[in-house]
């Protein structure tokens, strides 16, 4: 049975992800719990019991988190159940994709074209949004490179462990 502090942490993560990213609360709670639970890989039944949630709620949350490549399911040879765990690849810097921001800028340039005869005040929100998206598109690759160097330095000094990426439990 999980400690109260683990469940409180899971609830805090659930609220944060719901507020910041629009995740269903159960998906955020599941994510938070998977970060701190022992063992790190849990069955749907174990997660359901720990989080006092239905199997269907847990399964839905797992499917959603899988679609974001945050968690993964593995089944050891001879087992009849999947085990859910944080996907080690989810901690890689995939959120540094500048293409999203380039697409964002292009989309809002389309809207700006609709306002070509409008006042500067009317065009200002779109122009600023485009400028921000272009800025992020330019800077994110640089930040990703900086992060990779920093992460490697942290791993080399032992300040950050090197994650295992082997499948299974």
pLDDT one-digit tens code per residue, 107-134: 999 999 999 999 999 999 999 999 999 9
Q: Which of 32, 38, 53 is nearest to 2 (CA)?
A: 38
Tens digit of each residue's pLDDT (9 = 90 or more) over 48-84 = 999 999 999 999 999 999 998 899 999 988 889 999 9
Percent of the chain with pLDDT over 70: 92
Q: Tokens at residue 119, please?
A: 């006042």
Q: What is the pTM of this model?
A: 0.74
Give the span between the Cα atoms of 96 and 102, in whole angstroms: 12
Answer for the pair 48, 63: CB distance below 8 angstroms, yes or no: no
> What is the pairing mode between strands 83-86 and 71-74?
antiparallel
Q: Which residue is listed with tokens 């174990």? A: 46
Tens digit of each residue's pLDDT (9 = 90 or more) over 126-155 = 999 999 999 999 999 999 899 889 989 999
């Amino acid at each position: 049975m999980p400690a109260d502090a683990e469940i409180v942490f899971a609830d805090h993560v659930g609220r944060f992800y719901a507020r910041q990213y629009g995740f269903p609360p159960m998906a955020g709670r599941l994510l938070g719990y998977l970060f701190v639970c022992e063992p790190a890989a849990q069955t749907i039944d174990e997660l359901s019991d720990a989080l006092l949630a239905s199997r269907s709620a847990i399964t839905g949350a797992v499917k959603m988190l899988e679609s974001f490549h945050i968690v993964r399911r593995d089944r050891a040879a001879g087992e009849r159940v999947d085990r859910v765990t944080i996907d080690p690849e989810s901690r890689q810097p995939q959120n540094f994709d500048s293409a999203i921001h380039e697409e964002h800028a292009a989309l809002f340039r389309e809207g700006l074209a609709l306002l070509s005869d409008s006042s500067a005040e009317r065009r200002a929100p779109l122009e600023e949004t485009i400028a921000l998206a272009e800025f992020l598109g330019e800077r994110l690759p640089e930040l990703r490179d900086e992060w990779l160097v920093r992460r490697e330095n942290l791993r080399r000094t032992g300040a950050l462990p090197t994650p295992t990426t082997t499948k299974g439990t």
